C-alpha cells in the first residue's frame, strides 16, 4: 500500500474570474488528489516573463496517496478541465489556472515530466510568500534552507499584495 505524502502545490490565475478559478481548483484537488492540510492567503502580483493581467497566487499543502507522476497527471487534468490550454511553442502566456508541484514530501524527483522540488522556488516571490504562510519552516531538500530563509534571500523584488484570506478547503466548510 502507498504511503500518504504531504505535498505543496502553487496556484496561479490571471485570466477570467481569478478568485473563482483558485477556489474551483481547490475543490478539484480536494476531491481528486487528497486531503487539504493548509491553504495560504491569496496574493496579487504582476505577470512575470510576459505581458498579461495581474496574477492571483496561493499555495496549499495536501496529503496524497498519488505518486509524483500520478499527481502531475491529476493536476494537468484539472487545468485542462478548467480551460487551460498548454502550447509549449508559445512560452509564458495568460492562463485560467496554473498548478505546480513545489514539494513532494522531502523527495527529489527528476524525470522527463516532473522536477521536484520545483526548480524555481527560490527565485519566485509569488511562490515563496504564500508558501511561507503555510510552511515557513519546511526545508528545501536540495538547498537545505527553509521557506523563510529563501524568502529573505529571494532575488525577486516584485510588488506582492495580500488580497484575500485563505479560501475554503472543501464545499461543506462553506455551510
CA atoms within 13 A on the CB side of 154: 22
DSSP 152-170: HH-S----EEEEE----SS
Q: Which of 18, 30, 100, 124 is catalytic?
A: 100
Q: Which of 18, 30, 95, 124 is catalytic?
A: 95
CA atoms within 13 A on the CB side of 139: 6
Q: Which of 18, 30, 98, 133 is catalytic?
A: 98
Whether residue 110 contacts residue 120, with contact meaning beta carbons closer than 8 Å, is answered with no
Q: Which of 35, 54, 73, 84 is catalytic?
A: 84
Q: Is 157 a catalytic residue?
A: no
Q: Is 69 a catalytic residue?
A: no
Query: Which residues are catalytically annotated?
Result: 84, 95, 98, 100
Amino acid at each position: 500500500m502507498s504511503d500518504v505524502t504531504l505535498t505543496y502545490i502553487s496556484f496561479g490565475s490571471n485570466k477570467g474570474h481569478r478568485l473563482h478559478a483558485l477556489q474551483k481548483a481547490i475543490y478539484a484537488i480536494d476531491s481528486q488528489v487528497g486531503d487539504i492540510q493548509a491553504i495560504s492567503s491569496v496574493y496579487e502580483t504582476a505577470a512575470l516573463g510576459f505581458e498579461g493581467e495581474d496574477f492571483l497566487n496561493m499555495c496549499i499543502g495536501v496529503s496524497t496517496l498519488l505518486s509524483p507522476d500520478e499527481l502531475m497527471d491529476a493536476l494537468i487534468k484539472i487545468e485542462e478541465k478548467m480551460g487551460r490550454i498548454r502550447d509549449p511553442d508559445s512560452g509564458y502566456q495568460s492562463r485560467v489556472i496554473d498548478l505546480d508541484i513545489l514539494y513532494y514530501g522531502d523527495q527529489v524527483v527528476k524525470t522527463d515530466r516532473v522536477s521536484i522540488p520545483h526548480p524555481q522556488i527560490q527565485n519566485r516571490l509569488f511562490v515563496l510568500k504564500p508558501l511561507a504562510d503555510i510552511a515557513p519552516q519546511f526545508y528545501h531538500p536540495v538547498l537545505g534552507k527553509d521557506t523563510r530563509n529563501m524568502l529573505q534571500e529571494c532575488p525577486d523584488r516584485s510588488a506582492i499584495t495580500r488580497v484575500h484570506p485563505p479560501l475554503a478547503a472543501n464545499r461543506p466548510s462553506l455551510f
